[in-house]
Amino acid sequence: MSQVTIDTNEVDIVIAAFNSDLTSFLEEWRPIFSRFHLIIVQDPDLKEGLKIPKGFDVDVYTKSDIEKFLSSSSSAAMFSGYSCRYFGYLVSKKKYIVSIDDDCSPAKDNNGDIVDIVTQHITNLKTPATPLFFNTLYDPYRKGADFVRGYPFSLRTGVPCVLSCGLWLNFADYDAPTQALKPELRNTRYVDAVMTVPKNSMMPMSGVNIAFDREIVGPSILPALKLTKEGKYRWETMEDIWCGLVVKVICDHLQLGVKTGIPYVWRNERGSAIDSLKKEWQGVKLMEELVPFFQTLKLSNDAVTAEACVMEMAAAIEKGIGGSRLELANAADNMVEWVKIRKEVESRVLG
């Protein structure tokens, strides 16, 4: 792995807490996380107080904290369930955010060594990405690798990488139908590689193990597609999928890079595939409509920042697929609301 300098003052680790006792989780991660500032956001639906061991530099945000930060209860509702992690992104002051859920443990690489997810994520973000031309040896900037024969020299400087999508051992990020049909399926392969997602290729993003450059692409890491049945139930597993479609279109437009591969985490099982299927099945169908829309979505030359792209994209969604589906129109409204909330919170946090 190419060595990069990691300033601990540049990194926040955001943890979405769905269990009240975080003792074992944080003790497992102590060798890595104790060097950094932690932002722990408690799922507003979790009633018990959090148990957090001593020795961490940590800020904890609960449902009441979220409501105090925001000017309206409807805004606070954006951060229910899995979307609570996005509130951590709002209040961070750091350039880089590493995000992980509390059902993840440290993974081991093929040599049996603990994977330092922070170091690898920041390495991914601090080295260029190559979305414009695929290098068949994956990451050409990694120690021991280079560009292959035929790779244009004019493209070898790459582009800035702003999003790093890590992977999972054990319980991979399969959808509910796959889990239900293959309940014994586990990911046991540790592939020691990083690759850039090519330009104009969509991807399913999981918010469980990611890192991003908050300063550049933060406005596009957002919760938007959330509700169905007149707002009574969450599409819990669609929130980060929608976010991934949004951020990839914006990165392609702004000539920014997205990487996937290492670092891995060991993901523990949680919940029932059948229960997940009840929440997911409409989202599974909806993806067949969403992907073609995002594949053909073009932003104007006037959209030169992530925030401007979000606003322009929201208008395009409202005019296009949002015209026939209320939940998509609501998602467009939530994107506009996100930009507003982000400005509101940043004025308080950074002002």
Residue 282: pLDDT band with limits 50, 70, 90 = confident
Q: Crossing angle, helix 117-126 and helix 23-33, to 10 degrees?
A: 50
- The pTM of this model reads 0.93
Among 297, 330, 301, 293, smallest CA distance to 313 is for: 297
Q: For 332, phi and psi rounded to 5 degrees?
A: -65, -45
Dist. CA 129–CA 244, nearest whole Å: 17
**What average pLDDT does the chain have?**
90
Specify the pLDDT at position 74: 62
Residue pLDDT, tens place only, 27-45? 999 999 999 999 999 998 8
User: What length is written for the chain?
Assistant: 351
DSSP 186-205: -B------EEEPPTT-----
- For 240, residues 6+ apart whose C-beta sits below 8 A from its C-beta are 82, 205, 206, 207
Q: Are 214 and 89 in contact (CB under 8 A)?
A: yes
Strand-pair partners of 196: 259
Dist. CA 119–CA 99, nearest whole Å: 13
> What does the domain layout of the chain look like in residue ranges?
8-349
Residue pLDDT, tens place only, 115-129? 999 999 999 999 999
Among 73, 70, 77, smallest CA distance to 226 is for: 77
Among 51, 46, 83, smallest CA distance to 64 is for: 46
Residue 230: pLDDT band with limits 50, 70, 90 = very low
Q: Which one-letter amino acid corresponds to residue 207? A: G
For domain 8-349, which CATH number applies: 3.40.50, 1.10.287, 3.30.70, 3.90.550? 3.90.550
Dist. CA 36–CA 204, nearest whole Å: 28
